[in-house]
Amino acid sequence: MLNLINFIVWNPSISFGPFRWYSLCWLLGLALAYFTVRRLYREQHIKDEYFDPLFFYCFVGILVGARLGHCIFYQPDYFLTSGKGFVEMLLPIHFMADGGWKFTGYEGLASHGGTLGLMIALWLYVKRTKLSIWTVLDNIAIATGVTACFIRLGNLMNSEIIGKVTDVPWAFIFERVDSAPRHPGQLYEAIAYAILFAIMWALHKRMTNRIGTGWFFGFCLTYIFTFRFFIEYTKEVQEAFEASLPLDMGQILSIPFIIIGICCMFRKPKKE
Q: Model's pTM, two decimal places?
A: 0.80
* 65: CB partners within 8 A, 6+ apart: 113, 114, 115, 116, 117, 118, 120, 121
| CA atoms 189, 5, 10, 234: torsion sign | positive
- Least confident interval from 4-13, 15-24, 74-83, 180-189: 15-24
The predicted-structure confidence for 42-75, as pLDDT tens digits, reads as follows 999 998 889 888 888 888 888 888 888 878 877 8
Residue 39, marked binder = no
Separation in Å, CA 58 to CA 66, 100, 233, 246, 258: 12, 33, 30, 33, 21
Give the whole-angstrom CA distance, residue 188 versus residue 186: 5
The predicted-structure confidence for 122-159, as pLDDT tens digits, reads as follows 899 999 999 999 999 999 999 999 999 998 998 899 88
pLDDT at 118 > cutoff 90: no
Neighbours of 53 (CB within 10 A): 13
254-259: average pLDDT? 94
149-171: average pLDDT? 90
240-250: average pLDDT? 75
pLDDT at 4: 53
